Amino acid sequence: MNDLFPANQGKKATIDDVAALAKVSIKTVSRVFNAEPNVRPTTRDRVMAAARELDYQPNLSARRLAAKRAFVIGLLYDNPQSDYIIAIQEGALQICRQYGYHILIHPCTEEPAGLVSEAVNLKSQGMVDGFLLSQPISENAALIQALEQRNIPHVRISQRALGGAPCISVNDEEAAARMTQHLIELGHTRIGFVMGHPDHGSSHDRHDGFQRAMAAAGLTVNPDWVEQGLYNFESGYSAGRRLLAAALRPTAIFACNDHMAMGVLTAAHEQGVTVPGQLSVCGFDDTPMARYSWPPLTTSRQPIHQVALLAAEVLLKRIRNEAGGDQSHLLHCELVRRASTGSAPG
């Protein structure tokens, strides 16, 4: 800490102080701080020196008022999975810091009724410059339409194209097919599937991938072995119980996310079914939990961090009218083999 006298006489320096000390007009100081052209290097240095000496910090409120920009992006989400949200927050923040922006979080835990007006107000009050929409709220048509109609910059993290805004997607279909193929390669033919929440686009994509891989291997999907889940532990648990209660039960269960896979594992443990001896179980997402379960869960790792980086970058470029502010991106998952999947019994 070399700032023994950081609060210079208790008064914060303003742009006028800097201009006076550097013997230039305030506009020139503004130019320097906004990296605008038409400033001679020598002048620039003089301004910077003066700013440093006065410990000058541009007042953000004033900048915002004058420039009509907030230097803040809003992060909208209604996903209850902490790990996912935290990863998105961290990734987005990493980019924001590079651009000198900040993040305002806006979880929508309650009914989405007031959500649209809340979001619009946030923008019209000058709180934020745009929004990053995480799944599944990024698939809310009313919200997207409202943002689009008012020209509010936004970038969506979603598997579904919706409106004209850029969209950062993960190829869930492909990854689910890859996972199914992994089970098939282990010799499984009786494969059960636990679907995710029907409102999430990802749930359908993963199901599609499963179906495609099964068909490609010439295997039939037994409808009795396909259960509807809700992306949470409880739904996975009850789906697991139902699947394991069948007269002829599957030798492998592919749950659409890790939480449900954990539920399936618990159902198996309760009934004394060994994993992966008698039953292989796999999930999706590679949540931290997947490494800590017993046995550790085979799953598919989403590049969440990468998604967040891209989403924030595209949004900021969009806000700042830079190139690349309208590009969508498609990312891929990575299969993570752990101990919960093994060769088919018999």
Partner DNA sequence: GCCATCAACACAAACGCTTTATTAACAGCG
Partner DNA sequence: CGCTGTTAATAAAGCGTTTGTGTTGATGGC
As given in the structure block, the two tokens for residue 63 are 């900048």
Q: How far is the CB of 165 from DNA (least distance, A)?
A: 24
33 forms part of the interface with DNA (CB under 7 A): yes
34 forms part of the interface with DNA (CB under 7 A): yes
8 forms part of the interface with DNA (CB under 7 A): no
Residue among 6, 37, 100, 346 that touches DNA (CB under 7 A): 37
Angle, CA 12 vertex, CA 7 and CA 13 arms, to 5° = 115
As given in the structure block, the two tokens for residue 182 are 């992994």
The interface with DNA within residues 62-81 (CB under 7 A) comprises 62-63, 65-67
DSSP E strands in the chain: the ranges are: 72-77, 102-107, 130-133, 154-157, 167-170, 191-194, 226-227, 252-255, 280-282, 299-301, 329-331, 334-336
Q: Which does 102 bind (CB under 5 to 8 A by kind): a second copy, DNA, none?
A: a second copy
* Bridging pattern class, strands 252-255 and 329-331: unpaired
Residue among 9, 40, 109, 110 that touches DNA (CB under 7 A): 40
Distance CA 281, CA 89 (A): 30
Q: Which does 26 bind (CB under 5 to 8 A by kind): a second copy, DNA, none?
A: DNA
Question: Of the listed pieces 60-68, 82-90, 110-118, 234-242, which binds DNA according to CB under 7 A?
Answer: 60-68
Question: Of the listed pieces 14-22, 100-108, 194-202, 304-312, which binds DNA according to CB under 7 A?
Answer: 14-22
What is the Cα 188 distance to its own chain's centre? Answer: 33
Q: Which does 40 bind (CB under 5 to 8 A by kind): DNA, a second copy, none?
A: DNA
Bridge partners of 167, per DSSP, are 156
Determine the residue type at 156: R
Binding interface with a second copy (CB under 8 A):
1, 3, 6-7, 12, 57-62, 64-65, 68, 70, 72, 82-83, 85-87, 89-90, 93, 102-105, 107, 109, 116-117, 120-121, 124-127, 142, 146, 150, 233, 259, 262-263, 265-266, 269, 288-289, 291-296
Determine the residue type at 256: C
What is the Cα 67 distance to its own chain's centre? Answer: 29
Nearer to DNA, 64 or 249 (CB): 64
DSSP state of 49: H
As given in the structure block, the two tokens for residue 150 are 């008012």
As given in the structure block, the two tokens for residue 313 are 């970058």
Nearer to a second copy, 20 or 120 (CB): 120
Which residues sit at the interface with DNA, rule CB under 7 A? 12, 14-16, 19, 23-28, 30-31, 33-34, 37-40, 42-43, 56-59, 62-63, 65-67
